[in-house]
């Protein structure tokens, strides 16, 4: 493509927030008494504060390419000995500008964007002098590929969020990463970065983790990271330091050919297990990596560009951008219905009623994130000691993994204490209960706590399905109670359902939202309705599949019918993970509230009564696959109305569309976007489906049930 074509592409985005490329000449420090020469340092900076990450749009890439061409000319004249690239504080680059990429509706424009990136990065890789990337902070996607295209790399121990997340957002690492990374760190490690991590809730690497994999040649502390990196670059240019890359491989070597094939096969099995191949992008990453083992980098670049251009046109990519950009990145930061944050009260001490697993997880979270004293209470000292012991053991694990400093570990341990008396809550500003899911038990807990705490102390319930309104009925100050529903495991799941009862005070609600922010959770305001959002939808889904099973549908058909959705686990597996008694208890609550839409399975109750924890027994089948043991089958009885997998899928889709429509009519949340956000962050709903309501629109369920879409009038994006 010509420069004019690239400029025309840039002209399509006059409002792009440009990440500028600022060049500074540095005289390198002497090595053995002689300076290696002048070093040109390029700093990528959009001129905004750290809340506005640097990104790569077409105009940004055009400017960077122009700067690099100038540096290439200087290198040819012998004016510079090397070039470095770094970023503004906390960022190298946070990847391509998704708001730009999602608007490239024509395939030719997507292809041009891919080709532009390759042309710019090829210049960086062929400057005529060594290039260095100094990874000082976040480096995602195209940002990390800038580093990979450089000759050498350093990384800060303080750098977080290093990743190639493209498989997660519906694309491939298309600016050289899928070619360079397996050669640099080995095919197995490359698949960890490009497939396993993206499909594991978009996991990222820290600076030290990236260094250990071999993605960087040196690692330095953040306090003087740039100075140390420049000094290291001087040593490399002077020849006194020669970086070793023990994980690098030659893809033509016979043993590597075998490893490459094994990694691809393992990657395909993982994609099938994680997504049921419902999204094309992860498989395309594997296709390109498999093909490029025998390609030159230029040949791979052409394949990457074509693949990227195709993927940009898919519903899965548009859906992911809606889910990730519009919901997780934007709507989550402006919760619908949240009161003015100025009403929030300070919280300097937290009380937790209960010392079981959930309560202990909460204690660790509050202590680590808020850095305030946390006190656990329970009915006897043994339970209290066990809860406090859990927190300390988890802190020890974090310390062993170097996820926390020794000083931070000591402070966290000291912040968490326990007591058998609720008098320990006397000076608490916020008390949350995490006791047995029984209304009478929770009401008694709050009665006891209210007699001890100040009138301003906020009371919170972690209930997953019970009425917050009913819990507040007997309180002297019912406005102080708020629902604060976490998801398990607490440290991992980002959603927090904040439940407003009719009398919940605005200041209480504002404090709850500020606490959520301090805990690094995404809060969604929900009305006090049975099971709120996530559990109500999941139980409707599980109820339909279980009902089909009880009617005579074979277990493998019923449990696998929803695989086209690409859900993280099957309904029966989810039931076993949650615990059949817990799932049945919530189902009974929903049946009491909503009737036959939530049937209570007699078969599941028989399993619970006989201590059976799962319908499936892992690896018990003749072929090593899960099966139902004969003794489990003997406990159950079935109807004679089996369904096909397609019938179960359609039935479940229609049930979900019906339930969500009713929830919106009831005002459980402000809009379908909040339903989507809750399911993505609280239930692992796949990003590539774009949220549950766009998915139900696309498959026709919303129109079959209600005669209209949740996202009326949309022809692409969330409601394609």
Length of the chain: 720
How far apart are the two ends of the chain, measured CA to CA in Å? 32
Q: Residue 577: left (phi > 0), alpha (psi -120 to 50), or beta? A: alpha
Residue 205: strand, helix, or coil: strand
**Could you identify the residue written with the tokens 């990743």?**
163
Q: Kindly report the backbone phi and psi dihedral angles of residue 418, in degrees, each rounded to the nearest multiple of 5, phi listed first.
A: -135, 160
Residues 6+ apart with CB under 8 A from 413: 391, 392, 395
Q: Count of CB atoms within 10 A of residue 502's CB? A: 11
User: Is 394 an annotated catalytic residue?
Assistant: no
Count of Cβ atoms closer than 10 Å to residue 383 Cβ: 18
Phi/psi of residue 206, nearest 5 degrees: -85, 170
Laid out side by side, the sheet with 91-93 consists of: 91-93, 138-140, 162-163
Q: How far apart are CA 446 and CA 472, in angstroms?
A: 8
Task: Single out the catalytic residue among 166, 394, 514, 544.
Answer: 166
Q: 27, 79, 145, 316: which one is catalytic?
A: 145
- In this structure, are residues 601 and 553 in contact, taking their beta carbons and an 8 Å threshold? no
Nearest alpha carbon to residue 457 among 443, 444, 475, 440:
475
Distance CA 126, CA 149 (A): 9
Closest of 237, 261, 315, 278 to residue 28, by C-alpha: 237
**Residue 255 appears among annotated catalytic residues:** no
Q: Are 468 and 482 in contact (CB under 8 A)?
A: yes
Would you tell me the crossing angle of helices 58-76 and 3-11 to the nearest 10 degrees? Answer: 150
Q: How distant is the alpha carbon of residue 617 from its chain centre?
A: 30
Known catalytic residues are 145, 166
């Amino acid at each position: 493509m010509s420069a004019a074509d690239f400029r025309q592409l840039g002209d399509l985005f006059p409002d792009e927030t440009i990440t500028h490329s600022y060049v500074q000449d540095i005289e390198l420090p002497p090595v053995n008494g002689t300076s290696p020469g002048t070093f040109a340092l390029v700093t990528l900076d959009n001129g905004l504060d750290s809340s506005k990450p640097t990104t790569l749009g077409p105009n940004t890439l055009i400017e960077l390419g122009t700067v690099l061409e100038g540096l290439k000319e200087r290198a040819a004249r012998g004016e510079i000995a090397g070039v470095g690239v770094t970023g503004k504080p906390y960022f190298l680059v946070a990847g391509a500008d998704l708001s730009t990429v999602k608007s490239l509706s024509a395939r030719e424009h997507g292809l041009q964007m891919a080709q532009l990136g390759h042309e710019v990065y090829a210049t960086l890789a062929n400057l005529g002098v060594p290039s260095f990337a100094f990874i000082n902070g976040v480096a995602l996607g195209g940002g990390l590929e800038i580093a990979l295209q450089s000759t050498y790399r350093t990384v800060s121990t303080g750098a977080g969020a290093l990743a190639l997340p493209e498989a997660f957002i519906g694309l491939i690492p298309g600016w050289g990463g899928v070619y360079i990374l397996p050669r640099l760190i080995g095919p197995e490690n490359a698949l960890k970065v490009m497939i396993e991590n993206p499909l594991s809730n978009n996991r990222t690497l820290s600076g030290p983790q990236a260094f250990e994999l071999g993605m960087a040649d040196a690692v330095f502390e953040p306090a003087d990271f740039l100075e140390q990196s420049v000094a290291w670059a001087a040593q490399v240019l002077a020849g006194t330091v020669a970086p070793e890359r023990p994980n690098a491989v030659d893809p033509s070597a016979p043993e590597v050919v075998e490893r490459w094939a094994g990694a691809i096969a393992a990657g395909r099995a993982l994609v099938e297990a994680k997504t049921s191949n419902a999204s094309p992008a992860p498989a395309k990453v594997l296709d390109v990596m498999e093909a490029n083992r025998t390609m030159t980098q230029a040949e791979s670049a052409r394949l990457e560009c074509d693949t990227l251009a195709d993927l940009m046109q898919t519903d899965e990519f548009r859906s992911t951008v809606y889910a990730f950009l519009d919901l997780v990145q934007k709507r989550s930061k402006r919760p619908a219905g949240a009161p003015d944050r100025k009403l929030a009260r300070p919280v300097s001490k937290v009380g937790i009623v209960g010392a079981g697993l959930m309560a202990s997880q909460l204690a660790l979270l509050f202590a680590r994130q808020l850095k305030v004293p946390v006190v656990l209470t329970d009915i006897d000292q043994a339970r209290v000691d066990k809860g406090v012991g859990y927190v300390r053991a988890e802190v020890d694990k974090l310390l062993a993994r170097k996820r926390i400093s020794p000083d931070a570990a000591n402070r966290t341990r000291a912040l968490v204490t326990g007591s058998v008396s609720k008098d320990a809550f006397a000076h608490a500003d916020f008390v949350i209960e995490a006791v047995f899911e029984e209304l009478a038990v929770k009401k008694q807990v709050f009665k006891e706590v209210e007699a001890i705490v100040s009138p301003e102390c906020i009371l919170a319930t972690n209930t997953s399905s019970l009425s917050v309104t009913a819990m507040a009925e007997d309180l002297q100050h019912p406005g102080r109670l708020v629902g604060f529903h976490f998801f398990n495991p607490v440290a991992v799941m980002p959603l927090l359902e904040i439940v407003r009862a009719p009398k919940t005070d605005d200041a209480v609600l504002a404090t709850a939202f500020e606490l959520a922010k301090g805990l690094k959770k995404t809060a969604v305001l929900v009305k006090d309705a049975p099971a709120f959002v996530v559990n109500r939808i999941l139980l409707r889904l599980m109820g339909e599949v279980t009902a089909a099973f009880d009617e005579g549908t074979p277990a493998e058909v019923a449990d696998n019918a929803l695989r086209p959705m690409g859900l993280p686990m099957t309904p029966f597996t989810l039931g076993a993970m949650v615990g059949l008694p817990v799932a049945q208890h919530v189902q009974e609550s929903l049946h009491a509230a909503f009737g036959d839409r939530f049937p209570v399975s007699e078969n599941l109750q028989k399993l619970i009564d006989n201590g059976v924890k799962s319908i499936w027994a892992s690896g018990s089948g003749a072929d090593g696959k899960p099966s139902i043991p004969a003794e489990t089958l003997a406990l159950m009885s079935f109807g004679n109305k089996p369904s096909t997998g397609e019938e179960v899928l359609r039935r479940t889709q229609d049930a979900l569309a019906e339930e969500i429509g009713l929830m919106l009519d009831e005002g459980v949340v402000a809009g379908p976007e909040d339903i989507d956000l809750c399911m993505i962050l609280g239930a692992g709903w796949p990003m590539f489906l774009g949220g549950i309501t766009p998915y139900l629109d696309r498959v026709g369920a919303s129109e079959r049930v209600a005669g209209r879409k949740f996202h009326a009038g949309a022809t692409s994006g969330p409601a394609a």
